[in-house]
Amino acid sequence: MKIAMAGEVPVSEVSWAGADAVYTQAYRDLLRVAYVLTGSGQAAEDVVHDVFCRVGPRIAELDNPAAYLRVAVVNQCRAIHRRSTRAPRPDRPADIVLDTGLTELRDALQQLPARQRTAIVLRYLCDLPEAEIADILDCRPTTVRTLVHRGLADLRTRIS
């Protein structure tokens, strides 16, 4: 039996009330955001799972759990990009067929700087307003507009 240290809540007393409902509502959207930001299905699942494990016990205390989880997922994806090394990606198995347009878009998004990619994903995939994206990225709304504008211009040149 594990004894709780000072300030640590015993596992049996942790409240997961409401976490199931939030999980079922937000999981798919968070997984899409994490996938686009990481470029890997496995990494996206790991990110979303880790975020839910960290936030789950406190979910009932949050005013807007979906927004909090979205910010946590974006921050976790940033941390992964900071830690990752530029190792070559393994080739895809031959039996997987992807739409070439989606593959080209995903590859072009991965070549953008992380802040531009995050701003574009939050704006167009999550349909968030600039003010909320600015809060997530810890910048001004005008910076968000600039990031999105420059990112889209870069995407247009890469995809055309």
Joined together, the tokens standing for residue 135 give 């809060």
* Burial of residue 63, with CB atoms counted within 10 A of its CB: 0-12 exposed, 13-18 middle, 19 or more buried: exposed
Residue bearing tokens 């990752």? 84
Residue pLDDT, tens place only, 95-150 = 555 556 667 777 888 899 989 999 998 998 888 999 999 999 999 999 999 999 99
CB 77 within 8 A of CB 109: no
Please tell me the distance from the alpha carbon of residue 65 to that of residue 29, in angstroms, as a whole number. Answer: 13
Please tell me the distance from the alpha carbon of residue 77 to that of residue 144, in angstroms, as a whole number. Answer: 18
3-state helix, strand, coil in the chain (%, to 5): 70, 0, 30
Would you say the pTM of this structure is higher than 0.85? no
